[in-house]
């Protein structure tokens, strides 16, 4: 495939606003997780919450889109000079030649949850509730497109936790097919009651900060995040490239992965094939690493089966929590930071790696040259996506 330059990007998550906040968290081993203090949710768990969303409505010209999810999206668009970078690209290509592809899992379902609490005696929802501009999955994509003044192809991808990894694959296909010259890709997912109570009902929420790959792991910590990247055909030599992507859909079970990681392995192998790289050329793997018993075990089988036991790998969910539909973009961009900084992060909170695991899980962060990284995102229903990033050959 034609490599695509990740020419600009932004990150907002529980570690703070902007890429520098995420980098600072990774370097200091400071987690963004805290005891659940979201609304009146009565669950003993930890969450990755972004501060200040409640006090920052979206811009007045787009007030019809105001909701927690689109507020989070706006924070991401305003971070790291991303809006200005897109404006420059718009001037180069024209607004109609830049695609917008956003991944989300629940969108602004919180608006519907709150609206149902406010029904009148006849059961009618409050008049201010607008499903199309808030809860609808396309709402966040339309908001981003309108905020940035873009008119190219646009779509929302909602494949659970792989949603905002798959945006990279879709952007590659659109650009290669000639439908656009560049793409804004991203992911946004905000905290809501459905995911907190839903994962609690599945008995996979941890009562402490998540511990990926740990022998004593007990489940996930849910987070929220927004991330965006501007993909173009060309970039500077020191700009990371999307080198390959791989997707699979094993449909083994509605909410459980294939126990042997079959679909995950196919996604990773496909990403390597597109990139033209062998497993031995990957310097670091950012694991999906949710810290549930089943997911981590299946990923270990998939990773060790393809890469063996030498390739360093870790999960960054101990910093941000599992940001669901925004996990793909968050961890893809954290992987790009690893490339830029020459930094391999440990799996935060992991103390003792599961003795049955064969993959090389890092318990201590380290600095070393990094040329190629792979980022995994695996979702419900066997929706799997792996991405390879690296630098252009000199």
State the pLDDT at residue 380. 80
The string of DSSP letters for 213-267 reads TBTT---B-EE-EEEEEEEES---TTS-EEEEEEEEE----SSS--TT-HHHHHH
Signed CA dihedral, 148, 151, 152, 153: sign only: positive
Q: How many whole angstroms separate alpha carbon 197 and alpha carbon 102?
A: 25
* Half-sphere exposure at residue 310, Cβ-oriented, CA atoms within 13 angstroms: 6
- Max CA pair span of the chain: 69
> What span, in angstroms and rounded, lies between the C-alpha atoms of 261 and 246?
14
Instruction: Walk along the chain (394 residues) and give the pLDDT tens digit of each residue.
Output: 999 999 999 999 999 999 999 999 999 999 999 999 999 999 999 999 999 999 999 999 999 999 999 999 999 999 999 999 999 999 999 999 999 999 999 999 999 999 999 999 999 999 999 999 999 999 999 999 999 999 999 999 999 999 999 999 999 999 999 999 999 999 999 999 999 999 999 999 999 999 999 999 999 999 999 999 999 999 999 999 999 999 998 887 766 777 788 999 999 999 999 999 999 999 999 999 999 999 999 999 999 999 999 999 999 999 999 999 999 999 999 999 999 999 999 999 999 999 999 999 999 999 999 999 999 999 887 899 999 999 987 6
Domains of the chain (ranges; CATH) run 4-390 (3.40.47.10)
pTM assigned to the model: 0.97
- Which are the catalytic amino acids? 161, 288, 322
Query: Residue 366, exposed/middle/buried by CB under 10 A (0-12, 13-18, 19+)?
Result: exposed
* Tokens at 101, concatenated: 């592809």
- Range 375-390 burial, b when 16+ CB lie within 10 A, else e: bbbbbbbbbbbbbbbb
DSSP 54: G
**Strand runs labelled E in 43-166:** 46-48, 98-103, 154-157
The per-residue pLDDT for 254 is 67
Q: Which of 159, 316, 141, 146 is nearest to 228 (CA)?
A: 141
Which residue from 263, 234, 272 is spatially nearest to 389, judged by alpha carbons?
Answer: 272
Closest to 152 (Cα-Cα) out of 104, 86, 234, 94: 94
Q: Considering only CA atoms, give the Rg of the chain.
A: 20
CA distance 350 to 296: 12
């Amino acid at each position: 495939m034609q490599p695509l330059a990740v020419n600009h990007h932004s990150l907002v998550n529980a570690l703070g606003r902007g890429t520098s906040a995420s980098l600072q968290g990774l370097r200091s081993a400071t987690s963004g997780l805290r005891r659940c203090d979201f609304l009146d949710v009565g669950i003993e768990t930890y969450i990755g919450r972004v501060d200040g969303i409640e006090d920052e409505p979206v811009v007045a010209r787009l007030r019809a889109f105001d909701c927690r999810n689109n507020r989070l999206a706006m924070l991401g668009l305003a971070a790291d000079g991303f809006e200005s970078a897109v404006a420059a690209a718009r001037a180069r290509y024209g607004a109609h030649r830049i695609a917008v592809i956003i991944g989300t899992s629940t969108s602004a379902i919180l608006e519907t949850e709150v609206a149902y609490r406010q029904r009148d005696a006849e059961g009618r929802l409050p008049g201010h509730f607008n499903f199309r501009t808030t809860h609808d999955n396309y709402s966040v994509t339309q908001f981003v497109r309108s905020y940035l003044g873009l008119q190219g192809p646009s779509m929302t991808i909602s494949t659970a936790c792989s949603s905002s990894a798959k945006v990279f694959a879709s952007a590659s296909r659109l650009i290669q097919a000639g439908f656009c010259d560049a793409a804004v890709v991203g992911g946004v997912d905000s905290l809501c009651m459905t995911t907190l109570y839903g994962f609690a009902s599945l008995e996979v929420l941890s009562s402490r900060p998540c511990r990926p790959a740990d022998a004593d792991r007990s489940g996930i910590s849910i987070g929220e995040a927004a991330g965006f990247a501007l993909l173009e055909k060309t970039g500077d030599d020191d700009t990371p490239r999307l080198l390959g992507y791989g997707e699979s859909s094993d449909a083994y079970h509605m909410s459980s992965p294939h126990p042997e990681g079959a679909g995950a392995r196919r996604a990773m192998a496909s990403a390597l094939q597109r990139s033209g790289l062998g497993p031995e050329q990957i310097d670091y793997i950012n694991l999906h690493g949710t810290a549930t018993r089943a997911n981590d075990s299946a990923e270990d089988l998939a990773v060790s089966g393809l890469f063996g036991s030498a390739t360093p790998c870790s999960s960054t969910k101990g910093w941000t929590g599992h940001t669901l539909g925004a996990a793909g973009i968050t961890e893809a961009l954290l992987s790009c930071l690893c490339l830029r900084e020459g930094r391999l992060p440990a799996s935060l909170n992991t103390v003792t790696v599961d003795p049955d695991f064969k993959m090389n899980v890092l318990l201590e962060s380290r600095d070393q040259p990094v040329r190629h990284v792979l980022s995994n995102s695996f979702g419900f229903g066997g929706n799997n996506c792996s991405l390879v990033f690296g630098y252009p050959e000199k």
